[in-house]
A = this chain, B = another copy of it.
Amino acid sequence: MDLDSSLVDLTNTLTSDPKSWHNSHLVSVTQISTSGLLLLLNTARSMRSLVRTTGGDDRLRHRILASVFYEASTRTSCSFQAAMMRLGGTYLHVDGGAGGNTSASKKGETLEDTIRCLECYADVTVLRHPTTGSVQRVALGSGTVKPVINAGDGVGEHPTQALLDLYTIWDELGLSLDVDGGDSTNETKHTGPLVVVLLGDLKHGRTVHSLAKLLARSSIKHELVLRYCAPSSLEMPSHVKEYVGTFPNARQEEYTDMHEAVQGANVLYVTRVQKERFDNVEDYEKVKGAYVVNAKLMSSAPSGMIVMHPLPRVDEIATEVDSDPRACYFREMENGMFVRMAILALILGAP
């Protein structure tokens, strides 16, 4: 199901005007215009300065976040909670458990009613749910009276992950998204096309699908080259390639050898190749190890190529890479908090 097509009413409603974010839901990155992305990323950058200098401020004092997770995700929930607290706010955490076992949902309450009740106590809701489209359904239904932020709905969207990935690339490489040539505070260091390698299981990864689409949408000032490097059975789905193909500045290339893929690359985005994704063990054994990023690969990679990973990682990046300055997956993790601080501040009207 292509959720994008059903989100017509959400397209480009979040712009460079902070007022357009105030009290809005955030269920999909398609809501955010290119200039809206610039606002968000610049706001995230100012949040980083804030945390680095004073740890936070009190702009969200007495504001409460309802953090509602029907699927465990320690780092996403902690990231939103920390974001709220860094801005002086607080949170309620509701652990819906696998399948949604709050005390009320066990009694037969609908998801809509549960969220509507929590809104009585809170100012904004962050919702993760295993069912694709459920967050959108709740947010756009008639019952909701406060903003809902999508923290992942099945194979649907996980917009804040895509946004933190975009922010990381933008920040690490010194890119500019400034579409008007205006007063971006971000010094542009990067020149030439932006070459991004997406590595691993590209078939099942919600993260890489969203990132590919978002990079294509924001490829306005830079030529974009997306290199898909995956085992043959785990290739990037055609619906993503078709979407990316509609953007004139975006070029797509396919690789199976990661050593070739990283030549001249600016970004290596790693995901895990899981044994259980293969039909038979033989196919898995053939590719096992062929997509492990280690010191050897890094020694042949460009000196400015950053290595990203949505985490958690298992063995697809050797720990010996962690001390390489190009390894930025922990900075990427930290950026998640800054981007979520920016989103909460914008939605609660205190950017």
Contacts and interface: CB of A to CB of B under 8 A. Distances in A.
Interface of A: 54-57, 61-64, 66, 72-75, 78-79, 81-82, 85-86, 88, 90, 92, 94, 102-105, 107-109, 113-114, 116-118, 120-123, 142-143, 311-315, 322-323, 330, 333-334, 336-337
Given A57-B62, A73-B103, A330 B86 contact: no
B74 A107 contact: no
Contacts of A330: 116-117, 120
A121 B79 contact: yes
Contact of A120 (B120, B123, B336): B336
A109 B312 contact: yes
28 contacts: A54-B62, A55-B63, A62-B85, A62-B88, A64-B82, A64-B86, A66-B78, A72-B103, A74-B94, A78-B92, A78-B121, A81-B92, A82-B122, A85-B90, A90-B90, A104-B311, A104-B312, A109-B312, A109-B314, A113-B311, A113-B312, A113-B313, A114-B312, A116-B330, A117-B330, A120-B336, A120-B337, A143-B322
- Report copies per complex: 3
Given A81-B92, A122-B82, A312 B108 contact: yes
Ordered nearest first, which 10 A-B pairs have the shortest CB separation? A56-B62, A55-B62, A109-B312, A82-B121, A72-B103, A120-B334, A104-B312, A108-B314, A120-B333, A85-B90
